[in-house]
């Protein structure tokens, strides 16, 4: 059991260290000292998320099953790519399938968040990405990843926190096993800190019209940043947190205790948080304190449909109103909870995570205006080089075993939806904003009445 079909169920708990980190969560004290609220909110889990401070783990059915959809008895073309750890020199096998045509064409359109892929790459659309442009991302990057003829090479500059790099690279390696021959040649630079690296203010047209921002892959971005968002490591493994659960004797991992709350709060830490998907996957109405940062799936979520929006400044009053509203309108609150949960469990299946990676890399690959070159000090990486030396039976190995892609996907990637046109995007953003404004209006009206009431009693 590792981080498997992670969205089936999720657990998390508040962590004191993280809590002290960030004054934005100030409001929790008011909340917890108000016994009425404590009673109505069965548990509010404030979750400040900084990497290791997050205690989280997930159980679910094997992802491998999910990725090798059963094929009908009339076809027997499923091919397995067994791990071969016999080679003691631990080099990558030469007989990986170089191309595999999925048998089953896709009959489904990818989730809406795929429509943002082109937005993320748009800035380089006209000019493409030259060597000069790419190399300017290097000072921000932890590693360079090169894909050439379906093989993957990594040149690591600095170690990432915990095993973020290990499982990010592992995810890429699995993508190549899943869609052999479909990932184009490319070079990319990856940042694995919390915060984005390429800020728009540093690349203003008027200052330096000839200077394009360099492309940098990262787990999250911001409306004022150019980072290209990519799925985070926790989709494949997060052994550090599992360790903590183990120490605690799995007490805190009692799933029934975790997904029974009527409301759950999401609040950002230093940047986006890997916890969002787990919080939203619980069927509870999520009270989302307006995030600054977004990950790859966040931008298509709609307030009042998938979550209840909370202003980042006014959050105490907003939370109080949200809870009272939810208690008065349990059907509607449950519907929001369910829709949020559906969004996570359906549109964030591992197959879609891989499809998203594939399309980002295909789009990015098309922009390469440089000779893709394996750098001098890079090493080739494949499942064997990562798994075979990891023989201690520990959690890293376990996570890898659990998420190893055994066969190329017999099903093609989902159909990429049309990217947003400018007008369409504007309308969508207006829809999001107007839902937020509506909630603000209700909240302010309610709070004004409450204030008046309190004044009169004085």
Ligand X SMILES: *[C@@H]1O[C@H](CO)[C@@H](O)[C@H](O)[C@H]1NC(C)=O
375 binds ligand X (CB under 6 A): yes
Stretch that binds ligand X, among 66-74, 158-166, 346-354, 370-378 (CB under 6 A): 370-378
Distance separating alpha carbons of residues 173 and 197, to the nearest angstrom: 24
- In the complex, least distance from residue 44 CB atom to ligand X, rounded to whole angstroms: 17
- In the complex, least distance from residue 377 CB atom to ligand X, rounded to whole angstroms: 4
446 binds ligand X (CB under 6 A): yes
Q: Which of 126, 331, 376, 422 binds ligand X (CB under 6 A)?
A: 376
Residue 148 vs 349, nearer CB to ligand X: 148
Stretch that binds ligand X, among 37-45, 63-71, 79-87, 362-370 (CB under 6 A): 79-87
Crossing angle of the two packed helices 315-328 and 422-457, in degrees rounded to 10: 90
What values do phi and psi take at 266, rounded to 5? -115, 125
157 binds ligand X (CB under 6 A): no
86 binds ligand X (CB under 6 A): yes
Residue 72 vs 86, nearer CB to ligand X: 86
The interface mask with ligand X, positions 286-325, x = CB under 6 A, is: -----------------------------------x--xx
Q: Cβ(45)–Cβ(261) under 8 Å?
A: yes
Distance separating alpha carbons of residues 449 and 212, to the nearest angstrom: 52
Q: Up-side HSE of residue 169: CA atoms within 13 Å toward CB?
A: 29
- In the complex, least distance from residue 95 CB atom to ligand X, rounded to whole angstroms: 10
Using CB atoms within 10 A of its CB, is residue 428 exposed (0-12), middle (13-18) or buried (19+)? Answer: middle
User: By CB under 6 A, how many residues form the interface with ligand X?
Assistant: 15
Q: Up-side HSE of residue 347: CA atoms within 13 Å toward CB?
A: 22
Stretch that binds ligand X, among 21-29, 46-54, 81-89, 397-405 (CB under 6 A): 81-89
Distance separating alpha carbons of residues 274 and 353, to the nearest angstrom: 14
Residue 156 vs 409, nearer CB to ligand X: 156
Residues 17-76, interacting with ligand X (CB under 6 A): none
Q: Up-side HSE of residue 451: CA atoms within 13 Å toward CB?
A: 7
- In the complex, least distance from residue 252 CB atom to ligand X, rounded to whole angstroms: 33
158 binds ligand X (CB under 6 A): no
Q: Which of 80, 207, 392, 422 binds ligand X (CB under 6 A)?
A: 207
Q: What is the largest CA-CA distance in the chain?
A: 81
199 binds ligand X (CB under 6 A): no
Residue 313 vs 373, nearer CB to ligand X: 373
90 binds ligand X (CB under 6 A): no
Q: Cβ(220)–Cβ(272) under 8 Å?
A: yes
Which has the closest alpha carbon to 259: 12, 439, 2, 3?
A: 12
Residues 225-284, interacting with ligand X (CB under 6 A): none
96 binds ligand X (CB under 6 A): no
229 DSSP β-pair partners:
218
Contacts of 269 by beta carbon, 8 Å cutoff, 6+ apart: 18, 21, 22, 48, 49, 50, 194
Using CB atoms within 10 A of its CB, is residue 72 exposed (0-12), middle (13-18) or buried (19+)? Answer: exposed
Stretch that binds ligand X, among 122-130, 192-200, 204-212, 255-263 (CB under 6 A): 204-212
Kindly list the residues in this chain that would bind ligand X in the complex (CB under 6 A). 82, 84, 86, 207-208, 210-211, 321, 324-325, 328, 375-377, 446
């Amino acid at each position: 059991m590792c981080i498997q079909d992670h969205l089936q169920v999720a657990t998390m708990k508040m962590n004191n260290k993280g809590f002290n980190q960030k004054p934005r969560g100030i409001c929790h004290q008011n909340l917890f000292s108000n016994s009425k609220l404590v009673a109505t909110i069965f548990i509010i889990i404030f979750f400040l998320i900084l990497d290791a401070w997050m205690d989280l783990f997930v159980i679910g059915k094997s992802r491998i099953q999910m990725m090798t959809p059963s094929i009908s008895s009339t076809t027997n073309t499923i091919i397995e790519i067994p791990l071969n750890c016999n080679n003691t020199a631990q080099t990558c096998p030469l007989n990986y399938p170089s191309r595999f045509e999925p048998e089953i064409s896709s009959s489904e359109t990818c989730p809406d968040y795929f429509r943002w892929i082109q937005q993320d790459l748009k800035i380089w659309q006209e000019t493409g990405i030259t060597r000069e442009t790419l190399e300017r991302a290097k000072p921000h990057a932890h590693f360079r990843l090169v894909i050439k003829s379906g093989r993957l090479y990594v040149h690591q500059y600095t170690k990432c926190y915990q095993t973020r790099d290990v499982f990010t690279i592992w995810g890429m390696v699995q993508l190549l096993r899943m869609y052999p021959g479909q990932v184009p040649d490319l070079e990319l630079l990856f940042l694995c800190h919390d915060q984005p690296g390429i800020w728009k203010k540093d690349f203003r047209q008027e200052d330096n019209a000839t200077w394009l921002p360099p492309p940098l892959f990262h787990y999250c971005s911001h409306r004022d940043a150019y980072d290209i968002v990519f799925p985070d490591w926790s989709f494949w493994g997060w052994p550090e947190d599992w360790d903590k659960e183990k120490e605690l004797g799995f007490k805190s991992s009692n799933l029934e205790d975790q997904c029974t709350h009527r409301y759950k709060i999401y609040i950002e830490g230093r940047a986006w948080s890997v916890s969002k998907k787990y919080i939203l996957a619980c069927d509870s109405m999520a009270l989302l304190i307006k995030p600054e940062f977004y990950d790859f799936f966040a931008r298509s979520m709609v307030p009042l449909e998938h979550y209840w929006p909370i202003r980042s400044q006014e959050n105490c009053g907003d939370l109080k109103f949200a809870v009272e509203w939810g208690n008065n309108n349990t059907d509607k609150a449950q519907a929001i909870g369910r829709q949020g949960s559906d969004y996570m469990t359906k549109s964030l299946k591992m197959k879609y995570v891989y499809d998203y990676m594939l399309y980002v890399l295909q789009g990015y690959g098309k922009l390469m205006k440089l000779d893709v070159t394996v750098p001098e000090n890079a090493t080739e990486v494949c499942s064997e080089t990562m798994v075979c030396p990891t023989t201690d039976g520990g959690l890293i190995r376990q996570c890898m075993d659990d998420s190893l892609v055994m066969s190329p996907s017999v099903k093609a990637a989902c159909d990429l939806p049309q990217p947003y046109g400018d007008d369409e995007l504007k309308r969508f953003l207006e829809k999001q904003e107007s839902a937020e404004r509506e909630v603000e209006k209700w909240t302010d009206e309610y709070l004004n009445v409450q204030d008046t009431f309190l004044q009169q009693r004085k």
